[in-house]
Amino acid sequence: MRFTFDGRPMTGEPGDTLAAALLRNGVRVVGRSVDLGRPRGIFAAGPEEPNALVRVGADPILAATTVELHDGLEARSLRGKGRVDLDAVDERRCDKGYLHCDVLVVGGGPAGLAATLAAGRSGARVILVDDQPRLGGDLLNSRLLLDGAPALDWVAGLDLPARVLTRTTAAGYYDHNYVLAVERRARGERLWHIRARRVVLATGAHERSVAFPGNDRPGVMLAASARAYANRYGVRAGRRAVVFACADSGYEAAEDLTAAGVDVLAVVDPRPSGLPADVEVLAGQVVTGTTADAEGVLTGVRAGARHFDADLLAVAGGWNPAVHLFSQSGGRTRFDEELAAFVPGTSAQAERPAGACRGLYGTREAIADGYAAGAEAAGRTVPGLRVPECGERPLRRPAALWLVERTPGSEPAFADLHRDVTVADLARATGTGMRSVEHVKRYTTAGTGADQGKTSGAVVVGVMSALLGAAPGQVGTTTFRPPYTPVSFATLAGRDRGALSDPVRTTALHDAHVARGAVFEDVGQWKRPWYFPRDGEDMEAAVRRECHAARTAVAAMDASTLGKIDIRGADAGEFLDRVYTNMYSTLAVGACRYGVMCGADGMVFDDGTTTRLADDHYLTTTTTGNAAAVFDWLEEWRQTEWPDLDVSFTSVTDHWATVAVAGPRARQVIAAVAPEAVELAFMRYASVPVLGVPGRVFRISFSGELAYEVNVPWRYGRALWEAVLELGAVPYGTETMHVLRAEKGFAIVGQETDGTVTPQDLGMGWIVSARKPDFVGKRSHARPDTARQDRKRLVGLLADDPAALVEEGAQLTAAGVAPMLGHVTSSYHSAALGRTFSLAMARNVSPGDRLTAVSGNVAHPVTVVEPVFYDPDNTRRDGDPLVESPAPYAGECRSESPAAAFAARFEAASTPRAHLREVPFEPMWEVRGTDPGAGLRLGPDWWLVTGDVPPRPGWVDVSGQRTVLELAGPAAHDVLITGCPIDLDPSVFPGHAQTLLAKTSVILERVSPETYRIYVRSSFARYLAEWLIDALEAL
Amino acid sequence: MLLIDCPSCGPRDENEFHYGGQAGIACPTGDMTDERWAEYVFMRDNPKGWFHERWFHVHGCRTWFTVERHTVTHEIRKPR
Amino acid sequence: MTHPDFLWRNPDPKPAYDVVIVGGGGHGLATAYYLAKNHGLTNVAVLERGWLAGGNMARNTTIIRSNYLWDESAAIYEHSLKLWEGLSDELDYDLQFSQRGVLNLAHNLGDVREGRRRVNANRLNGVDAEWLDADEVKKFCPIINVSDRARYPVMGATLQRRGGIAKHDHVAWALARQADAYGVDLIQGCEVTGFEITGGRVTAVETSRGRIAAGKVALAAAGHTSVLAERAGIRLPLQSHPLQALVSELLEPVLDCVVMSNAVHVYVSQAHKGELVMGAGIDAYNSYGQRGGVHVIEAQMAAALELFPIFSRARVLRTWAGIVDVSPDASPIIGPTPVDGLYINAGWGTGGFKATPGSGWVYAHTLAHERPHPLAEPFALDRFTTGALIDEHGAAAVAH
């Protein structure tokens, strides 16, 4: 394999890490340290690497020990900091996945493999994750024989009854046994979210170094890492080596280095006696320093009086169990004196460490421990689990050596290699009065480097315990935080990028708007037409034209996004009386009434019109932005405060497409599309055919003109819109809607209000019923600050210059300086008035007062007026009479399903493995109360009935509220688990469920083992369709 | 990601729910002082320990229920 | 950067002090410092149950600004910002205070309206503020994605040039060092477990290191305020939530200002050392666990990449969380409590770091004079009874 390092061409072997390949090519200096600029080489063989931080392609900074070599790889050295490539385009496609299991085993070394066997054979659902390309853990790095054969033969011979994820690093352990694991794939990482009943942590242990003078030179390396390079990669990290063996693993490293052809000169062992070895053993000695050449690369090792010419110093400082995930899970570690290491103590969750990660470093004991852990996790022991034989020596107690004292003039002794923190730095920290390891970490930055404390943590604690004269257990460790290894931003974002970063909600009319060249605005997640420019008009011209049409002829708007809630029950009127400020129980059947809703704090929360369809049946509308919040609010009050009230709520926001037809000639259009509604009185409603299909017409006006809100089921929405426009209505968008209502002085929630405004502040004291004993928020209106007379109120403003548009957000003052009296909330050019006008919230002002509106550097003189600018006596409300009865609209009322526009793309993206289609239309009802005996149960006393079933009283028609997408094939499940968090395993999935898919609520139904039906809100159908197509394209 | 046990749907990830804060606070009716009203609207327990709280399964069965959760360990149990 | 050789003593608590400050975070230490410096009160103890400034002061994302909407808020945060401007010199400690500018992005018409409203209010209140359109945003911060093909395109931003960042630990240690030098006792590992209240007046605190008599007791315990208040029989409108934050690995300089977005839920800056520092909103539930759900981080990362696609290969190195005491109007609660001699300074929620010097200043004044500093008056506990809330949910940016 060919690669380059700092532009120098090199070659490596398949299976190499970049670090192994660099060593193979004799590269000793890989970068410079971040603060001191000292040359640094490769220190370790895994993610605990603190030195060999390099840029790889567009990756700003990576440990070379974690990078799998590939052909064409380009790497560059760094000085401790990564470099973001401003021009790189990230072509990776990162994805997510949601898995559930009975037992999650983290780590595929001896203990983890054993646990997987034991748990899996007992019948539990098991997932095994391991961060290497192959299983085996430390067995990959050793020459150990099991049952007389290479250890990897034992591994290869295991039949693991589990889902095995290799190249997958468990990065975070969260509440309730939720583990995040990053799987590395060439095309982009996959972020697995695993919910496990029980977890076995078999995460192994990291070797640690010792803080002796000159311990950072290129050539100084962890002993087990040097051994790994020799055994696993066939790379000699040096030619002449000294081994610093504070633990017996140093001797194993010495043997393996010798077997690889390295000349091992000596083993230096601080303990009183050494082990038998083929090389000289200096017992009771420590490494006291190193020497280097002109480039700072290791040339020699000093141990007291002795000096060795060596280019490799392999340090076996002892072992730190990898307790990071254990600690993240909430478990408490404790310091084990025998092992001189922090080990897992009390578990906080349903989790158990096994093997080296709990201090059992021998292979046989790790395997035995793994079997026990797996059995315990699965809740069953199975027979036939055998521990293979091997010739390991029992391990002696390691030397609890953290630092070697410096002599004056000797090289610094490093505690944290990445952050360039020396023992002297740590001493200085404790000298300030700092006693906590957390303080010292922050003062020196030790432990905050790329290795996230894996090599530095224990050394820091050890050094501090020496400095403070306290036991390491008293000093404690810093808290381990996710992620265990660095995780890229793109990996965490997954496919929630660009257009998929948040759902786009669209109405049934959306494609018609696009075709008509509408300019859209974002209202929450919705795309709403802002204005419809014609012939290169700018916004001002378009809005002027649209307004003119609405006030002189007829215009139409897509009002589908407003929330619509169907409310039924004997106590529906009583309930509405309690949540609105006004009365609804007295509303006549067939009448509409505008209402305002407050929070408990008395501030305006939402508004809309509510219509009484029958004695026990109302339809409430909400603002677009608050639809979901109001729907939840109603449910909260009913369930938690008034469970005795007989009332239920069903969202029909997507079921009904709504076209608002406004203007003096609106009657002409209504006569053609809904002739039975032509005689409707103001604020009345009729359930009548619209274009021949069952519809609803409400005579409600937000503009002050004659206006109707025409509703048809979603699938006929586009046909209705096209018909209305064909009949001469001019399409208008939200900007025109805003202008028209502002001319009439109608406040908009979220524009005139900001959560601090009461109905009385808006001049709507009339809507606050004096008759009702109570309603939500009423008591707050009586509080001193809420009842005072000098609060800001809704006013109108006219600028002295009729052409000057005072900016929304301008602050109102008496003379251009503080104090501020209020601010401008709405401001427009008015076609009808032939000038600009504004609405504002201001205190202590009256009509006629002169103010200055300040916006940036501009100050407009304005006059306060009543907040109604157009037709204050509402004379235009009834519009023009019908000139002649037009013929009913003869065009087709075509039906179009929510995902109809995706049919071709669904087909193109489908394969035999996963096929996606929209299911043809079927009627649907939501039922509350009595079990219908059919359909899907959605919750307590709540069902969805689908099909040609005759509806019973109380059933709510929701045929347009959702559409159904069908995903079928052997890979359907794999597609779903990229975005559905629940357990779909047949053993637990009850056949259907309401849950999330990607970022939208769905009903998920498994109709057959390989066929799923996804019921999605029609307004989210476009988003989910794009998401599913994107998922299919990645399969 | 907390795992919340919905009485109707079973255990689900916390992002299927809306959090409702302290449980058991009924809206007072009738005459009362501004202090009593403020007590209801704003004052809440905020324990470091077991907390009786409400959850709403917004992306599921849309029912409100309560649990007891320890605000340090996040252990959850059925309310007593 | 070289830290001082000596920071603080580790004294045993005395039997009594004139003022006992409960909570050794940024605000508690600032209060002690200003009590000594401005009011000559040095018979003061700061009691910290853990290690000094190990709570939210060690966990925040270090953003400093004063561009809040309401007059009352702007006044106290601007007072704090003015103190920041002289603080490194005054404390003789490099706080790495960098006034590199804070952008609050607008992504829809409502954001634009609210942003302009806040800019205009700021300017009239003497707080520096500008409105930038999308092109100007791109000029100010070239690496932001202002493409109109983004899901929520940037439509503009407010800019406070005097806003920026500082190094939180340095601030804490600088305040602690000065307070200690004045003779204030900083007592660590000392948890207040109860209050001695006689005849409606607090006379002592009970702690894990014994009883300490106190002339006045000042709570400055952020997320733990309710726990303490409950022991004094006081009920508060605070709820403690996790607020998560994270850093990337060290990177060479690439972002030279602070960027915040409500709609695309994230805020980012790059620290002196090189790491990207990021945060977003609170986790929904009450918690003292100093950790939150990873889905909040995932959403934050997706938001970050919408604004900064070039960060796609940057890596998250470490995530953590603080415990933020959130009040119903996203504004603090400062002043006396129903218990005589017991004072509260809390409810700073997700925005306490920027207020560190200002909060300490007004709290010290309040304690010394036994009545609220004028800037603190609007933030009295009784505003929840009168209804005079100061609703800063919008200006508190993402985290509310």
pLDDT digit string (tens) for A693-745?
Answer: 999 999 999 999 999 999 999 999 999 999 999 999 999 999 999 999 999 99
DSSP 3-state of A710: strand
Shared domain for A330 and A408, answered yes or no, is no
Q: Do A912 and A998 belong to one domain?
A: yes
* Number of cross-chain residue pairs from A and C with Cβ atoms under 8 Å apart: 239
A37: CATH:
3.10.20.440
- Cβ(A76)–Cβ(A171) below 8 Å: no
Give the list of residues 6+ apart from residue A766 with CB closer than 8 angstroms, or none: none
Contacts of A449 in chain C (CB under 8 A): 250
- For residue A490, is it within any domain? no
The Cα-based distances of A428 to A444, A756, C93 in angstroms read 9, 53, 17
Alpha-carbon gap: C148 to the closest alpha carbon of chain A (Å) = 11
Instruction: Say if residue A1027 is in the same domain as residue A910.
Output: yes
Q: Rounded to an integer, what distance in angstroms lies between the CA atom of residue A336 and that of residue A240?
A: 35
- Positions in chain A whose pLDDT score sits under 50: none
By the CB < 8 Å criterion, does B69 face chain A? Answer: no
Work out the minimum CA distance from A407 to partner chain C, whole angstroms.
22
Q: Which residue in the set C120, C301, C389 is minimally distant from A811, CB to CB?
A: C120
What are the tokens at A398?
A: 């390691």
* Residues C59, C244: Cα–Cα separation, whole Å: 8
**Is C116's CB within 8 Å of A807's CB?**
yes
Residue A72 falls inside a structural domain: yes
| Boundary (domain end) residue, out of A62, A89, A116 | A89
Q: Is the peptide bond before A920 cis (omega within 30 degrees of 0)?
A: no
pLDDT score, position C395 = 63
> Minimal Cα distance from B8: which residue of A?
A939
The reply to whether A496 touches chain C by the CB within 8 Å rule is yes
Across A358-380, b (16+ Cβ under 10 Å) vs e yields bbbbbbebbbbbbbbbbbbbbee
Give the count of domains, chain B.
Answer: 1
A1016 with A904, same domain: the answer is: yes
φ/ψ of A780, rounded to 5, equals: -65, -30
- Give pLDDT, residue C396: 56
Query: Which ranges of A79-216 does DSSP label H, i.e. alpha helix?
Result: 110-121, 151-156
Q: Does A177 touch chain C (CB under 8 A)?
A: no
Q: What residues in B contact C238, CB-CB < 8 Å?
A: 44, 46
**Is residue A202 domain-shared with residue A100, that is, in the same domain?**
yes
Work out the mean pLDDT of chain A and round it to a whole number: 96
Domain shared by A49 and A8, yes or no = yes
Q: Which positions in chain A touch B37 (Cβ < 8 Å)?
A: 779-780, 783
Domain closes at, from A455, A475, A495: A475
For the segment C26-40, the average pLDDT, to the nearest whole number, is 98
Query: CB under 8 Å to B36, separation ≥6 — which residues?
Result: B28
Shared-domain flag, residues A994 and A915: yes
What are C31's two structure tokens? 């209060």
Is A348 a member of any domain?
yes
Question: Do residue A97 and residue A38 come from a single domain?
Answer: no
For residue A774, give the chain B residue with the closest CA.
B29
- CA of A981 to nearest chain C CA: how many angstroms apart? 11
- Tell me which residues of chain C, numbers 341 to 380, contact chain A at a CB-CB cutoff of 8 Å: none
On the 0-12 / 13-18 / 19+ scale of CB atoms within 10 A, C215 is middle
Q: Is residue A1000 part of a domain?
A: yes
How far apart, in whole angstroms, are the C-alpha atoms of residue A367 and residue A387? 6
| C-beta neighbour count of A35 within 10 angstroms | 15
Instruction: Say if residue A60 is in the same domain as residue A139.
Output: no
pTM of the model: 0.97
Both A904 and A1023 in one domain: the answer is: yes
Torsion of the alpha carbons at A531, A535, A538 and A544, rounded to the nearest 10:
-60
Comparing CB atoms, the residue among A177, A639, A774 nearest residue B63 is: A639
Q: How far does the CA of residue B38 sit from the closest CA of chain C (Å)?
A: 5
Cβ–Cβ contact B39 with C under 8 A: yes
Contact (CB, 8 A) for A441 and A478: yes
pLDDT level of residue C255 (50, 70, 90 thresholds): very high
* DSSP string for C330-371: S--EEEE-SSBTEEEEE--GGG-GGGHHHHHHHHHHHHHHTS
Which range marks the domain in which residue A455 is found? 402-475
Which chain A residues are closer than 8 Å to B74 by Cβ? 175-176
| Contacts (Cβ under 8 Å, ≥6 apart) of A388 | A146, A147, A154, A364, A367
Contact A779, A590 (CB under 8 A): no
**A88: which 2 tokens?**
């790189």
Please report, for the domain that includes residue A1004, its CATH number: 3.30.1360.120
A606: in domain: no
Closest CA to A447 of A477, A483, A404: A477
CB–CB contact C389 A601 (8 Å): yes
> A124 lies in a domain?
yes
Check B46 against C294: CB less than 8 A apart. Answer: no
Evaluate whether A119 touches A378 at the Cβ level (below 8 Å). Answer: yes
Q: A-contacting residues of C 66-95, CB under 8 Å?
A: 71
Nearest-angstrom CA–CA distance, A650 and A572: 13
The percent of residues in chain A predicted with pLDDT above 90, rounded, is 93
Do A25 and A171 sit in the same domain of this protein? Answer: no
**Cβ–Cβ of C328/B42 closer than 8 Å?**
yes
Q: For chain C, which chains pass the contact test of at least 3 CB pairs under 8 Å?
A: A, B
Domain that includes residue B69, residue range? 3-24+31-77
pLDDT of residue A35: 92
The number of distinct structural domains making up chain A is 4
Burial class from Cβ neighbours inside 10 Å (0-12, 13-18, 19+) for residue A348 reads middle
Verify that A152 and A99 share a domain, yes or no.
yes
Distance CA(C347)–CA(C381), nearest Å, equals 10
- pLDDT greater than 80 at residue C398: no
Residue A494 lies in a domain: no
pLDDT at A888: 85
Q: Which tokens go with A183?
A: 């799987």
DSSP A587: P
Whether residue A434 is contained in a domain is answered as yes
Residue of A486, A494, A820 lying closest to C121 (CB–CB):
A820
- Residue A159: is it exposed, middle or buried by C-beta count within 10 angstroms (0-12/13-18/19+)? exposed
End position of a domain, from candidates A443, A475, A507: A475
Q: What is the chain A residue with the closest CA to B75?
A: A176
Tokens of A532: 């419809």
Whose CA is closest to A127, among A182, A175, A199, A204?
Answer: A199
Mutate to test the interface with C, among A489, A789, A841, A1023 (most CBs of C within 10 A): A489
Long-range contacts of A874-879 (CB under 8 A, 24+ apart): A874/A704, A876/A551, A876/A664, A876/A704, A876/A705, A876/A706, A877/A682, A877/A701, A877/A704, A877/A705, A877/A706, A878/A682, A878/A706, A879/A663, A879/A664, A879/A665, A879/A666, A879/A667, A879/A705, A879/A706
List, for residues A559-571, the tens digit of each pLDDT value: 999 999 999 999 9
Which pair of structure tokens corresponds to residue C342? 């017991």
User: What CA–CA distance (Å, rounded) separates A780 from A774?
Assistant: 11
Structure tokens at A586: 């007295």
Q: Find residue A242's DSSP bridge partners.
A: A266, A313
Q: Nearest residue of A to residue B35 by CA position?
A: A783
The total number of residues written for chain A in this structure: 1035
Asked if A921 contacts A948 with a C-beta cutoff of 8 angstroms, the reply is: no
Residues in chain C: 400
CATH number at residue A428: 1.10.10
> Which bin fits A216, alpha (ψ -120 to 50), beta or left (φ > 0)?
alpha
Q: Which residues of A touch B13 (CB under 8 A)?
A: 195, 981-982, 996
Measure the CA–CA gap between A714 and A659, rounded to whole angstroms: 11
Q: Is-contact B53 B20, C-beta < 8 A? A: yes
Phi, psi angles (nearest 5°) of residue C312:
-60, -30
The answer to whether residue C400 scores a pLDDT higher than 50 is no
- Chosen from C313, C389, C390 to mutate, greatest number of chain A CBs within 10 A: C313
Residue B18: CATH number of its domain: 3.30.2270.10
* Tally of CB atoms within 10 A around A268: 30
Please state at what angle helix A423-431 crosses helix A437-444, rounded to 10 degrees: 120
Residues 596-635 of A with CB under 8 A from C: 601-602
DSSP three-state, residue C195 = strand
Contact A540, A531 (CB under 8 A): no
Domains of chain C in start order, with CATH, are 16-60+168-237+328-396 (3.50.50.60), 99-162+239-326 (3.30.9.10)
The beta-carbon neighbor of A175 closest among B1, B16, B20 is B1
Pick the residue from chain C with its C-alpha nearest to A758. Answer: C387
Are A1015 and A1005 in contact by the 8 Å Cβ rule? The answer is yes
Phi-psi region of A569 (alpha: psi -120 to 50; beta: other; left: phi over 0): left
List pLDDT tens digits, range A896-913: 999 999 999 999 999 999
> What does the pLDDT look like over C180-197, one tens digit per residue?
999 999 999 999 999 999
CB C199, CB C322: distance < 8 Å: no
Distance in angstroms (rounded) separating the CA atoms of residues A545 and A543? 5
Going from the C-alpha of A307 to that of each of A28, A272, A291, A304, A403, the distances in angstroms are 21, 20, 9, 8, 19
